Structures are given as structure tokens and as C-alpha cells.
Amino acid sequence: MTEPLSDLYRSVLSQLGEDPGREGLLDTPKRVAKAMQFLTQGQHQRVEDVVNGAVFSSDNDEMVLVKNIEFYSLCEHHMLPFFGTCHIAYLPRGKVLGLSKFARVLDVYARRLQIQENLTLQVAQAIQDITDARGVGVVIEAQHLCMMMRGVEKQRSATTTSVMLGTFRESSATRAEFMSLIR
Ligand SMILES: Nc1nc2c(ncn2[C@@H]2O[C@H](COP(=O)(O)OP(=O)(O)OP(=O)(O)O)[C@@H](O)[C@H]2O)c(=O)[nH]1
Ligand SMILES: [Zn+2]
């Protein structure tokens, strides 16, 4: 399954002026193909499948926050990594989501070619759809290798994106509670 992709990476090595026949590079096209398929596997996954029915009844309607979830993604402009942490909060309405599923949902959207803004929005909308929550807040803090290794070459800049849905959008108190909990 990785073979056509390996062949393409062998050509890429040649185009970059490398010798794909030298010892250190012999298995590289195969490894890169496998790595890239893993790093983009989210595009073939469905949120319903990773959630696996782990939605439970609960009368607790207070804020639930899963914070500091690390992720790695690939920017769709350069196919270079961006990575950081994601904080996901919601206000349940009769049902709660299994805690590990927040990380699984994040990875479905992170493991594909992305931009940080869309990743943030897609995670928020997915959590909203799955839980029918009164509101969802997602904040992502990330560093982009396309701004570090190349281009502007800025090592310390960090990008924060947020999406607030429902009560998180309407109520400044809810948003403030979320922000104070992730600080
Ligand atoms: N908004 C947004 N921009 C991103 C993200 N990842 C990368 N970019 C930007 O995408 C832009 C692409 O700009 P171009 O001018 O087309 O490409 P480029 O010549 O390689 O740009 P430089 O990075 O400035 O050298 C750059 O400004 C990147 O910083 C992201 O997640 N969100
Ligand atoms: Zn980039």
C-alpha cells in the first residue's frame, strides 16, 4: 500500500540531489511513506468511530475542562509540523463524553494537513455535535516549524487560537472561568 508513495519519495530524494541508492537512504522512501501516512491518517477517520459510543448520562451540568492535551499536526502550506497544547471545555446538558475521547477527537483533526484556526474550529464543532453541550470552548497554543526552521525563522513566537460556542460565546463569565482555569 505504501509502494507508490515510496516510489514518489525516491524521486523526491533524486530531485533534491541525493543518491537514493546510498546505504543510509535505501529504506528511507518506505519509512517516509509510512510516517506520512500515519501523520495524515485523520483524514480517513470518523469522529463517531473514535468516540465509540462513550457518551454517558449525567446530571452534572458544571464546566468540564480537559487541558494541556498535546498534539502534532502538519501545516497545509509547507507540510511542516506545528505542535502544542489544546484545552477543551464544555458545559454538559444531560450527557458527558469519556475523557480520553477529547484527545482522540483532537487527533482525528490534528493528523491531517491543517491550519491552526480550522483545527480549533473543527474540534469545537465535533465536541458540540457529540455532546449537545450548552457550550464548548477550545483554545490551542502552538508553535509552527515553518516559522522556526525556515521563512521568518522566529524561535519564540507562539500562536493562540480559540473558538467559543453557545454559552462560552454568550456569557463573559463562562469564558472568564474557562480562561482562568487554563492559565
Ligand atoms: N493563518 C495561518 N497561517 C499559517 C498556518 N501555518 C502556516 N501559516 C502561514 O501560511 C502563510 C503562507 O504564506 P506564503 O507567502 O504563501 O508562503 P511563504 O512564501 O512560504 O511564506 P513565509 O512563511 O512568510 O516565508 C505563511 O504566512 C505561514 O506562516 C496556520 O496554521 N494558520
Ligand atoms: Zn507552514
Assess whether 104 and 61 both reside in one domain. Answer: yes
> Whole-angstrom Cα distance, residue 28 to residue 19?
11
- Which residues form the domain of 56? 52-182
Binding site membership of 145 for ligand 1 (Cβ less than 6 Å): no
Number of residues written out for the chain = 183
Indicate the pairing of strand 113-114 with strand 64-75. Answer: parallel
In a domain, 46, yes or no: no
> Whole-angstrom Cα distance, residue 117 to residue 32?
27
**Residue that wins the pLDDT comparison between 3 and 36:** 36
> Whole-angstrom Cα distance, residue 84 to residue 115?
13
**Backbone φ, ψ for residue 18 (5° rounding):** -85, 165
State the total domains in the chain: 2
Q: Contact 165/82 with Cβ under 8 angstroms?
A: no
CATH number, domain of 82, equals: 3.30.1130.10
Assess whether 138 and 165 both reside in one domain. Answer: yes
Binding site membership of 117 for ligand 1 (Cβ less than 6 Å): yes
Question: 120 alpha carbon to ligand 1 midpoint, in Å?
Answer: 17
Question: 77 alpha carbon to ligand 2 midpoint, in Å?
Answer: 5
146 annotated as ligand-binding: yes
The closest residue, in CA terms, to atom 22 on ligand 1 is: 151
DSSP annotation of 133 reads -
The closest residue, in CA terms, to atom 24 on ligand 1 is: 151
The closest residue, in CA terms, to atom 19 on ligand 1 is: 151
User: 103-143, pLDDT tens digit by residue?
Assistant: 999 999 999 999 999 999 999 999 999 999 999 999 999 99
Residue 2: is its pLDDT beyond 90? no
> Whole-angstrom Cα distance, residue 153 to residue 105?
31
Report the complex ipTM: 0.91
Assess whether 32 and 58 both reside in one domain. Answer: no
The closest residue, in CA terms, to atom 16 on ligand 1 is: 77
Question: 110 alpha carbon to ligand 2 midpoint, in Å?
Answer: 14
**Single pTM value for the model:** 0.96
Binding site membership of 115 for ligand 1 (Cβ less than 6 Å): yes
User: 118-127, pLDDT tens digit by residue?
Assistant: 999 999 999 9
H/E stretch holding 24: none
